[in-house]
Amino acid sequence: SLDSTVIGQVSASDPEAQTVSYSIAYGDNDPLDGLFEINAEGKISLTAVGVKAFTNDYELTSNTHNITVVATDPAGNSSQIAVTLNEININERPLAENFSVDIADQDIVPIVFDTTGSDDHISDVDDDMLGNQVMVMLTSLPDAGTLLYTEGGVTREITESDLYDSQSGYLGTEFDPNFISYVPGSKNLFTFGDSDHSNMEDGQWGDPNEDNTVRTYTLDNDNVITLWITDQNGKPATFHLYKNENANDGYGLADNDGNGINGNGGQSDNGHETFHIDLAQNPLDVVYFGIDGVGGAQNGNSDNSIMVTYHLYDGNSETVNYEKPDGDVGNQQLSYEFSYSSPDNPIIGIEMTGDGGSWVLSYFSGAEALPDETSFTYVAIDSGVPVDENNTQTKLISDEATVTLDTSDAPSYNVFSAENGDSLNGQLGNDVLIGDEQANIFTWLDSTLDSGRDVIVDFELGNDKVDLLDILSDSPSTQEFNALIDSISVSVSGDNVELEVPINQDDSQTIVFENGASLFDSYIDSGAITQQNDLLNALLKDPSS
């Protein structure tokens, strides 16, 4: 109990209507002396010393104390009032405090509200004494990333509909604080230009400098992406937004020479016009872009292509040649979409040029970088301890508190949740794929395998499957499938099991089974996989299924 909590009240009146004062009379060596106090209105409460003295037993269902209150009028006349104080289970508001969590480089991070010592951020005197769990309700969600809740072995995303709103009185969802976790990730996407040509506007490409040779695009997180073009001599070129003024020009941004970005500057092979994109302030795991005006010169039957060099965080770079699909040799199809993924080594710069032919950039898209920190707010809610002889229950709510998440070193994940037995497809970049209570197929297409880390949550052995068949030929044989199994490495990492699926000589796709060490324990001995091929045959969808 608090020393301000009223635990009893007396009332006395004076015949002459004079003010009556109150005091408490104690006998010699009375152990209750100094533990109670009474105010001018006759309200009795514990003193601070009394609170401390009764900390361990004042909430017991039988706790009775007898005291004597003296009522005195201004003339000094007094009378005594015997008072019995029945202190029966006074319910008090729980406490919630602000705290921080360092996400580091983890994918799914438990949010620890309730434990022992300095990590215990919620408490309630009544519930703690009775062994009841103090629950929490969220009042806001983080701007970046996703909160998850696991109940009965089933994980789901926490959404706006779960939030407690003190203004409207909507209570929201009560969560057991032991089962909330956080997945770091960016929720904010940006796009320069527009894949819908009819909506193409100059303002979609950022702010130009005075001579329109440099454009800067400021994201909502205040990071700046810079665009510029150099001609075949390496000198700055002026931007121009093409709207297919001439046949086959396409819709998009290039230089103003009238031909878009030319592979050889429209002259001899002494250089290339190059479109530059500086991503140093906002490195990207995955980029998506559209190229328009791609004519018949850039096809699989020629040596002409669009050459894109990706400069990576570790100082290395990779050049990829893009061209029309095989068999597409004419000018009927001019617009194409491409992507590049490097989640383990983000992209900090891009150079786009060509080797013959011309083109324009119709759009460019990515995700805003994670902020250094994000946060969400919550309240603690008690279990509603009975507060009177009628066993009435009232749930009390704490003041709002903030959980700050340090995401300065965190990777970025997309979260996808299955519904009604949906199949879930791994995408470019890092993903968290959450199955449901029905049978799920977790699929990776050949085009979405990258060097990322994808985490499967709520996988059920014998019911769910992983589908990697798109890596193989259209009608893969048993021998081809067995060769795939032989190429995959499997390891135990803490509580998880990880698959490494080779993409090429240097890179592999990591697929993580959360809590796989316990899910697949019959295939594991002393922390090592003992029956790798048997486990993979149990996990993977085979060609005959």
Kindly report, residue by residue over 391-417, the tens digit of the pLDDT: 455 688 999 999 999 999 999 999 999
Q: What is the CA radius of gyration of the chain?
A: 34
Burial of 282-299, coded b for 16+ CB within 10 Å and e otherwise, reads: bbbbbbbbbbbbbbbbbb
Lowest pLDDT segment from 182-196, 234-248, 280-294, 326-340:
326-340
50 pLDDT more than 90: no
Per-residue pLDDT band for 308 (boundaries 50, 70, 90) equals very high
131: left (phi over 0), alpha (psi -120 to 50) or beta: left
Backbone angles phi, psi at 118, to 5 degrees: -70, -15
User: Taking residues 311-317, what's their average pLDDT?
Assistant: 97
Q: How far is CA 442 from the centre of its chain?
A: 21
Give the N- to C-terminal CA distance of the chain in Å, as an integer: 65
Answer whether 335's CB lies under 8 Å from 360's CB: no
By the 10 Å C-beta count (0-12 exposed, 13-18 middle, 19+ buried), 317 is classed as middle
pLDDT of res. 380: 92
Which pairs with CB-CB distance under 8 Å and at least 24 residues apart come from 485-488? 485/533, 485/536, 485/537, 485/540, 486/533, 488/536
Q: Which domains does the chain have, with CATH numbers?
A: 6-86 (2.60.40.60), 95-186+372-406 (no CATH), 189-367 (2.60.120), 413-539 (no CATH)
Other beta carbons within 10 Å of 165: 11
Answer whether 451's CB lies under 8 Å from 509's CB: yes
Per-residue pLDDT band for 271 (boundaries 50, 70, 90) equals low
Answer whether 62's CB lies under 8 Å from 19's CB: no
Write the pLDDT tens digit of every residue in 79-128: 999 988 876 556 678 889 999 999 999 999 999 998 776 678 998 766 56
Burial of 404-437, coded b for 16+ CB within 10 Å and e otherwise, reads: ebebeebbbbbbbbbeeeeebbbbbbbbbbbbbe
Taking the model in full, what pTM does it have? 0.80
Query: Mean pLDDT, the chain, as a whole number?
Result: 88
